[in-house]
Amino acid sequence: MSFAATLQERFFRWALRGHAPEAVPVILTQRRVYVLPTRQGLVYAVSLLVMLVGAINYNLSLGYALVFLLAGLGTTAILHTFRNLAHLRISLGRTEPVFALEHAGFGIVLTNLRNESRPAIRLSLPKHLPKQPQVEVEVPAQASIEVRLELPTTQRGWLTLPRITLETNYPLGLIRAWSYAAPDLRCLVYPAPAAVAPPLPSTPGADGGATRLAAGMEDFAGLRGHQPADPPRHVAWKAAARQDDGPLLTKLFSGAAAQTLWLDWNSLPATLGIEERLAVLSRWICDAHASGLAWGLRLPGPGGELAPAADDAHFHSCLKLLALYAPS
């Protein structure tokens, strides 16, 4: 790291007034808000100086009055720009898991406890990150608003929200007030499903019975989210009629000729690397879940086995196990 980069990081740590990540809620106190003139503000100040020199040179009383009036306006703008950002409260919003190579959406909740709104609040991530546009919002008086910051993902595991910058130049654009925050917010990144993978394996159940859930016409076994390929006669129309705008559900039936489905790490070719195996298992989990199957997962090491199930919780548990898998 260069000397300039090291100095910049030290400034960021000092500006945060603590260690990152920060415990929430984060409150932008007066000591954390910094103020400097913008380019327009510097031009404004130079113009006032020129006008003052002209008023002194020609002894213009109205020139003095105009210069002092505009100087007072600029000084008032400093206070209003500072107050537009000071004492803003930051807390955690909703952050959903994503697959690698997708964009992770971090939810940031801004709370304004004052009786006046806070317009033109801009949030941004560090500039060295690619394609990170600023997000500008207005926080209503005595209210909260959730802002989503998106960050591209490249690998599985936990992705921590980097330092964010909050700034404003409201109301006149002459002054820039800004602050830094690093709330403790993480997003879980699942392994990206393999584009090409072997077909789903199937192994006989230990009891010789059927643990696969199929859309057959035998015993009713529960409900799951509707898939486009599901036949209309299997849609739970009565459940849909009881809710106004809820998602469609499909009835599941237990078939008598099905088999237990195990997604086993050791069943994959030995030539595949760790990340390739995880990608194939991720594809199998997605396919099994979309087909309404009950499946189990086996990975090497302690705690690497999950019993067969077919609900959404099991789906995310399996993907989380893949995302956090660390070979021993």
pLDDT digits (tens, 9 = 90+) for 113-169: 999 999 999 999 887 666 667 899 999 999 999 999 999 999 999 999 988 999 999
Q: What integer pLDDT is reported at residue 215 of this predicted model?
A: 44
For the chain, give the mean pLDDT. 84
C-alpha span between 20 and 323 (Å, rounded):
24
Contact 124, 165 (CB under 8 A): yes
Lowest mean pLDDT among 60-69, 159-168, 257-266, 319-328: 257-266
Q: What integer pLDDT is reported at residue 216 of this predicted model?
A: 45
Whether residue 221 sits in one domain with residue 173: no
- In this predicted structure, the answer to whether residue 35 has a pLDDT above a threshold of 70 is yes
- In this predicted structure, the answer to whether residue 177 has a pLDDT above a threshold of 60 is yes
Q: Within a domain: residue 8?
A: yes
- In this predicted structure, the answer to whether residue 15 has a pLDDT above a threshold of 90 is no
pLDDT band of 210, cuts 50, 70, 90: very low
Q: Within a domain: residue 191?
A: no
Q: Within a domain: residue 197?
A: no
Q: What integer pLDDT is reported at residue 172 of this predicted model?
A: 92
Whether residue 110 sits in one domain with residue 254: no
pTM (predicted TM-score): 0.74
Q: Give me the mean pLDDT over the 188-205 stretch.
A: 80
Dihedral sign from CA coordinates of 200, 206, 207, 208: positive
Whether residue 88 sits in one domain with residue 166: yes
Q: What integer pLDDT is reported at residue 217 of this predicted model?
A: 43
Q: Are strands 186-190 and 157-160 parallel, antiparallel or unpaired?
A: antiparallel
C-alpha distances (whole Å) from 324 to each of 90, 169, 186, 266, 302 are: 28, 42, 13, 18, 13
Range of the domain at 141: 3-186
Q: Give me the mean pLDDT over the 41-60 stretch.
A: 94
pLDDT, tens digit, 9 for 90 and up, residues 267-326 = 898 888 999 999 999 999 998 888 888 899 999 988 889 999 888 999 999 999 999 998
pLDDT band of 48, cuts 50, 70, 90: very high
Q: What integer pLDDT is reported at residue 196 of this predicted model?
A: 85
Whether residue 248 sits in one domain with residue 175: no
Domain count, the chain: 2
Q: What integer pLDDT is reported at residue 213 of this predicted model?
A: 45
- In this predicted structure, the answer to whether residue 91 has a pLDDT above a threshold of 60 is yes
CATH number for 146: 2.60.40.10
Q: Within a domain: residue 158?
A: yes
Q: Give me the mean pLDDT over the 208-219 stretch.
A: 44
Q: Give me the mean pLDDT over the 91-115 stretch.
A: 94
- In this predicted structure, the answer to whether residue 259 has a pLDDT above a threshold of 80 is no
Whether residue 279 sits in one domain with residue 171: no
Q: Which residue did the predictor score with more confidence, 199 or 167?
A: 167
Residues in the chain: 328
With tokens 């199930």, the residue in question is 309
Q: Within a domain: residue 206?
A: no
Q: Would you give the distance in Å from CA 119 to the centre of its chain?
A: 23
Q: Within a domain: residue 258?
A: yes
C-alpha span between 144 and 327 (Å, rounded):
43
Q: Within a domain: residue 203?
A: no
Lowest mean pLDDT among 18-22, 24-28, 250-254, 310-314: 250-254
What is the helix (H) or strand (E) element at residue 320, kind and residue range?
Answer: helix 312-323
- In this predicted structure, the answer to whether residue 40 has a pLDDT above a threshold of 70 is yes
pLDDT band of 209, cuts 50, 70, 90: very low
Whether residue 163 sits in one domain with residue 237: no
C-alpha span between 185 and 161 (Å, rounded):
6
